[in-house]
A and B are shown apart, each in its own frame.
Chain A
């Protein structure tokens, strides 16, 4: 399959990133980080393009993308939400915060709302354990979240 879905600028960006790493397959993870930073996510077409540039099978790229939690094959919402499910947050009730976010948005973990505004993910520890339970929206940390506050916090982003 050719990269018919990708814009010329995306193709050029991927090519530049690979070239900056000397098209070295050993740099695959760093290349994927930079590509995801630039394009937002790593759809199959991008993975194939990376494989082509590095001269390795696309299966190897996909094997790496699907292995690591940090890489995503789907686009995120405009405001990505992450709920911390690290132990410190968990014992202070972050599972209940997660349930409430799911209720309010009507989506499951890993999904994006139909309007594309929010996407929901879990992560393990942002390191603000003193504020547990925490959630992050657009990278901003919200601490000591009570499930009752969830709706109000989200409304500010709509």
Chain B
């Protein structure tokens, strides 16, 4: 059916609402008591995570196996298996959640499917071994609200992820979806819409933090019959997956927000520029767009208001620089994704020379809620200058890898130690990297700064799009800087000299340092080059590209100095500075290592301690992995 009025939309909501009632964690039906058909529960829903992370561990197979089970046991009329977006707790995936008793199962496998159905869904007994165990108290926790990972989170942009079926637009509508659009079209002028976004204090979540309302305002002031609204979904920061999870878990929120913006700035066309590496996100976006078109929420004369808006998808093709908005626009035009100087800003001259407003996925996802709950509600969350929440992809050497959303102003310590559960394997925290290749590495002394645009910038990093990678004592910071610089050199579009050549020279210097041939003069050169690139590169990406080097130089100078002065790598990652040695006390002269050594670098009489000729050793580590007496070590 086509929705042609607010009443139609309300009708769909009313029809779809019962489907979501079971999933409402605050409804009286939801409780601690285990539900089960034999205990008299009338209806049960089983949610399985259909995000990329859990899918990699065969969550689709789990859903299929459970579906087969409920059919085999003849309970398919009372039990529903629903695939949702990402729950966030990727470390413990695949996740399966049973409603209405709110039981959160972790690390589920296909083999567990039958037990969950038989024991829990039918019998009403929780499968204890699949529950999350609190590492501190060793107590099994069934309700995710009581897990440290979730306790401090506030989910606004991720409000529907892990809750609704992203391929069913009716579930989105049941969560008040498209009511913000209806409200704007029916009751607000474009100017009032822009004012609401301005009042909320929302700033761009793609990295730079430009006020979203102002951006819309600029685009609305450009005089043109044709304008474009663009969603930047070219999430290029390696190790960040916030935008992907939103597209996979709640694609309609992006579509609704883009339509609202279209109304506000006077645009009829929307484009989503998404990475081709995200096939699932593309599929879910396409599904959502076609469902919205079927309902008349995209297309001509939306809700009978005369406003028309439609969205098409453009694919990226693997270029980090295309996250920069002018490069992104060129890429959408079918050209090389090279940035151009601003001004002219896209709001004046963008896609095909028409005024264009570009916002990032997470920014879009915040828009509908701002209208549902009001700009004051939104601006009451967060800090003075950074409002609302921020989604982070928490990864690296941390216990709870996953997707989190916290109010601005939360400290890094809270994120890493409370939500993240601390450092893996009891190792010592060394650094946390925020902002991806444009950001920086922060240390122990920064752990208590609040997360907001200004504080992170002042500490030498940046908010960025939301990658947060934790490193421990085993990570060499010189190598980390080299890793990011290698990424930049590979991804530099080559248009401007400072970025193309300057970063290459910096990488050569870092190569020299990790090869054990660096000097103190090299460190000075690094700093000088970094400063020049920062001052002279053409686009935002080029200007921020030296940040990983500058921040590690500022915060880990002693490690750099050790590398150049003493030729020592404390994290034992720079192979040129390490030697394999045999402990004569432990070696029994079994000769196995000598036999396995491909370089014939090990010599010794049988039953006598052996030695390694360092000139011949190629440091392959074969001896170490073959020695049964642990007599060989790397120092």
Chain A interface (Cβ < 8 Å from any Cβ of B): 24-30, 32-33, 60, 63-64, 67-71, 85-92, 123-132, 134, 141, 143, 148
Given A63-B336, A87-B483, are A30 and B236 neighbors across the interface (CB < 8 Å)? no
- B231 → A minimal CB distance (Å): 16
Which chain B positions have C-beta within 8 A of A90? 238-239, 483
Residue pair A129, B334 in contact (C-beta under 8 Å) = no
Option from B92, B241, B480 in Cβ contact (under 8 Å) with A91 = B480
Q: For A34, give the chain B residue with the smallest CB separation.
A: B315
- B203 → A minimal CB distance (Å): 24
Stretch of B49-57, B115-123, B136-144, B604-612 at the chain-chain interface: B49-57
In the complex, A69 Cα to B320 Cα: how many Å?
Answer: 10
- A69 → B minimal CB distance (Å): 3
Residue pair A128, B56 in contact (C-beta under 8 Å) = yes
Option from B57, B92, B469 in Cβ contact (under 8 Å) with A87 = B469
Residue pair B436, A129 in contact (C-beta under 8 Å) = no
Option from A25, A85, A125, A143 in Cβ contact (under 8 Å) with B240 = A125
Judge whether B337 is part of the interface by a CB distance below 8 angstroms. yes
- B575 → A minimal CB distance (Å): 11
The range of chain B's interface size is 35 or more
Which chain B positions have C-beta within 8 A of A60? 335
B291-344 CB contacts (< 8 Å) to partner A: 314-320, 331-337
Option from B52, B335, B352, B469 in Cβ contact (under 8 Å) with A126 = B52
Option from B315, B332, B395 in Cβ contact (under 8 Å) with A33 = B315
Residue pair A29, B401 in contact (C-beta under 8 Å) = no
Residue pair A88, B469 in contact (C-beta under 8 Å) = yes
In the complex, A143 Cα to B436 Cα: how many Å?
Answer: 22
Option from A68, A86, A128 in Cβ contact (under 8 Å) with B53 = A128
Residue pair A124, B487 in contact (C-beta under 8 Å) = yes
Judge whether B493 is part of the interface by a CB distance below 8 angstroms. yes
In the complex, A25 Cα to B333 Cα: how many Å?
Answer: 8
Residue pair A130, B480 in contact (C-beta under 8 Å) = no
In addition to A26-B352, A70-B317, A91-B475, 19 A-B residue pairs with Cβ atoms within 8 Å of each other are: A29-B314, A29-B315, A32-B317, A33-B315, A33-B317, A63-B336, A67-B319, A67-B336, A86-B238, A86-B239, A87-B433, A88-B238, A88-B395, A90-B238, A91-B397, A128-B56, A130-B91, A130-B402, A143-B56
Residue from the set A60, A126, A143, A148 with the largest chain B CB neighbour count within 10 Å: A126
**13 A–B contacts from the bound complex (CB under 8 Å):** A24-B334, A68-B337, A70-B277, A87-B238, A88-B393, A91-B470, A124-B238, A128-B53, A128-B57, A128-B90, A131-B56, A134-B56, A143-B57
Given A29-B314, A87-B436, A141-B56, are A64 and B239 neighbors across the interface (CB < 8 Å)? no
- A35 → B minimal CB distance (Å): 12
Given A91-B475, A124-B487, A130-B91, are A64 and B335 neighbors across the interface (CB < 8 Å)? yes
In the complex, A90 Cα to B320 Cα: how many Å?
Answer: 17
Which chain A positions have C-beta within 8 A of B244? 127
Residue pair A69, B318 in contact (C-beta under 8 Å) = yes
Residue pair B53, A29 in contact (C-beta under 8 Å) = no
- A25 → B minimal CB distance (Å): 6
In the complex, A10 Cα to B244 Cα: how many Å?
Answer: 34
- A132 → B minimal CB distance (Å): 7
Chain B interface (Cβ < 8 Å from any Cβ of A): 51-53, 56-57, 90-93, 236-241, 244-245, 276-278, 314-320, 331-337, 352, 393, 395-397, 401-402, 433, 436, 467, 469-471, 475, 480, 483-484, 487, 493, 625
In the complex, A132 Cα to B467 Cα: how many Å?
Answer: 15
Which chain A positions have C-beta within 8 A of B402? 130
Q: For B52, give the chain A residue with the smallest CB separation.
A: A127
Residue pair A129, B53 in contact (C-beta under 8 Å) = yes
Q: For B279, give the chain A residue with the smallest CB separation.
A: A139
In the complex, A68 Cα to B236 Cα: how many Å?
Answer: 13
Which chain B positions have C-beta within 8 A of A67? 319, 336-337, 493
In the complex, A86 Cα to B244 Cα: how many Å?
Answer: 15
In the complex, A92 Cα to B336 Cα: how many Å?
Answer: 33
Q: For B280, give the chain A residue with the smallest CB separation.
A: A127
- A150 → B minimal CB distance (Å): 13
- A109 → B minimal CB distance (Å): 11
Which chain A positions have C-beta within 8 A of B337? 67-68
Residue from the set A89, A125, A143 with the largest chain B CB neighbour count within 10 Å: A125
Q: For B241, give the chain A residue with the smallest CB separation.
A: A127
Residue pair A126, B471 in contact (C-beta under 8 Å) = no
Residue pair B277, A132 in contact (C-beta under 8 Å) = no
Residue pair A71, B238 in contact (C-beta under 8 Å) = no
Given A26-B333, A63-B336, A64-B335, are A91 and B469 neighbors across the interface (CB < 8 Å)? yes
Q: For B431, give the chain A residue with the smallest CB separation.
A: A91
Which chain B positions have C-beta within 8 A of A30? 314-315, 334
Q: For B93, give the chain A residue with the smallest CB separation.
A: A130
Residue pair B241, A129 in contact (C-beta under 8 Å) = yes
Residue pair A70, B331 in contact (C-beta under 8 Å) = no
Residue pair A129, B239 in contact (C-beta under 8 Å) = yes
In the complex, A32 Cα to B317 Cα: how many Å?
Answer: 10
